[in-house]
């Protein structure tokens, strides 16, 4: 799933691709993808994109009449910048938005579970943005990590978009590894120094990823999951710090990658699904 760095860099490229252009047409290609009824998708035609930004993992297109278009790529969404626009309806296509500068954006989905989606929001309507937690880098986020009393595991807190927005499994795994914190740790189990270290490594992890993402061009068609991460999706390969084998553990229907030497004092974390079966 694309996370904050991928979506931030993509929004910056889209400023160049369609900023200042007017929408020439909207082709809803997947019926379930549009999450709003009013304003109608046709109502955006003829309006100019005055800005493209990001909030959490959402792309936010600002239009000259105050309406906004949101796009969420979900688990395996892709966004192609087409120049010239194609007419084809590719497999998993959600929507194609055409612009008067000869370009189009095609949103499509390769996953089967959770689908890429889009919204047309009237002024004052925050839609799905309303429920989001603070962005990493904000004072509110720093306060949560340094002084928070949330009793859930840190890995869960970081992935919960209502608590913290923009981080998913990938950068949660990488940041916890870099901070030498167990994915099963809670905030209360950390010292003040460990909390500060965790806050710092989350920042560095996301900043470095954003720098890498800014080297991409075009849309977001091949995330190449695995290669850009330190430990995420790399179970079985040597830890980049100590050289021991990285391990994975299944937890809340996710797979978490970690290094026992660096993060859990050598302890191998129990697979909860397996533990339940054994009981
Ligand atoms: Zn290690």
Cα 242 to ligand 1 centroid, rounded to whole Å: 4
CA distance 167 to 181: 17
Between the CA of 156 and the centroid of ligand 1 the distance, in Å, is 21
Does the model's pTM come out above 0.85? Answer: yes
Q: Is the pLDDT of residue 255 over 90?
A: no
Q: Which of 255, 1, 15 is nearest to 109 (CA)?
A: 1
pLDDT of residue 1: 83
Question: What is the crossing angle of helices 192-213 and 169-178, to 10°?
Answer: 130
Q: How far is the CA of 244 from the centre of ligand 1 (A)?
A: 6
Pick the range with the lowest mean pLDDT from 7-21, 58-72, 210-224, 265-279: 265-279
Separation of 55 CA from ligand 1 center, angstroms? 33
The alpha carbon of 241 and the centre of ligand 1 are apart by a number of angstroms equal to 5
The per-residue pLDDT for range 183-242, each reduced to its tens digit, is 999 999 999 999 999 999 999 999 999 999 999 999 998 766 457 899 999 999 999 999
Find out whether 101 and 16 touch, Cβ atoms under 8 Å.
no
- Cβ neighbors of 17 (< 8 A, separation 6 or more) are 81, 103, 105
Residues 6+ apart with CB under 8 A from 63: 23, 44, 47, 48, 49, 50, 69
Q: What was the pLDDT predicted at 225?
A: 47
- Please give the Cα distance from 110 to 30 (Å, whole number): 13
| 97-153 tens-digit pLDDT | 999 999 999 999 876 666 899 999 999 999 999 999 999 999 999 999 999 999 999
- Condensed to tens digits (0 to 9), the pLDDT of residues 89-103 reads 888 899 999 999 999
pLDDT of residue 254: 81
* 135 CA from centroid of ligand 1 (Å): 28
Q: Is the Cα torsion angle 14, 19, 24, 26 positive or negative in sign?
A: positive
Q: What spacing in Å lies between the alpha carbon of 138 and ligand 1's midpoint?
A: 29
Q: Which pLDDT tens digit goes with each residue over 13-40?
A: 999 999 999 999 999 998 789 999 999 9
Q: What is the CA(127)–ligand 1 centre distance, in A?
A: 42
Q: Which residues contact 185 (CB under 8 A, 6 or more apart)?
A: 153, 154, 176
Taking the centre of ligand 1 as the mean of its atom positions, its distance from the CA of residue 229, in whole angstroms, is: 14
Span 252-269, average pLDDT: 93
Q: What is the whole-number distance in angstroms between the Cα of residue 185 and the centre of ligand 1? A: 17
């Amino acid at each position: 799933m694309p996370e904050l760095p991928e979506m931030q860099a993509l929004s910056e490229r889209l400023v160049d691709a369609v900023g200042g252009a007017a929408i020439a047409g909207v082709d809803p290609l997947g019926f379930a993808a549009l999450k709003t009824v009013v304003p109608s998708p046709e109502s955006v035609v003829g309006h100019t994109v005055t800005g493209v930004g990001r909030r959490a993992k959402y792309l936010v297109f600002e239009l000259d009449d105050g309406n906004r278009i949101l796009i969420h790529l979900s688990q395996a969404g892709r966004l192609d910048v087409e120049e010239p626009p194609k007419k084809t309806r590719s497999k998993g296509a959600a929507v194609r938005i055409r612009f008067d500068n000869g370009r189009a954006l095609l949103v499509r989905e390769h996953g089967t579970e959770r689908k890429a989606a889009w919204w047309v929001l009237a002024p004052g309507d925050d839609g799905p943005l309303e429920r989001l937690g603070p962005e990493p880098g904000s004072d509110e986020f720093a306060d949560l990590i340094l002084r928070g009393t949330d009793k859930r595991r840190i890995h869960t807190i970081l992935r919960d978009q209502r608590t913290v927005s923009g981080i998913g499994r990938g950068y949660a795994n990488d940041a916890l590894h870099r901070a030498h914190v167990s994915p099963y740790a809670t905030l209360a189990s950390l010292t003040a120094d460990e909390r500060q270290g965790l806050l710092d490594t989350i920042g560095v992890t996301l900043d470095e990823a954003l720098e890498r993402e800014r080297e991409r061009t075009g849309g977001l068609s091949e995330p190449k999951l695995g290669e850009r991460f330190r430990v995420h999706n790399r179970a079985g390969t040597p830890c980049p710090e100590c050289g021991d084998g990285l391990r994975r553990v299944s937890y809340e229907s996710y797979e978490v990658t970690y290094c026992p030497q660096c993060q859990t004092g050598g302890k191998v974390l129990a697979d909860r699904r397996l533990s339940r079966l054994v009981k």
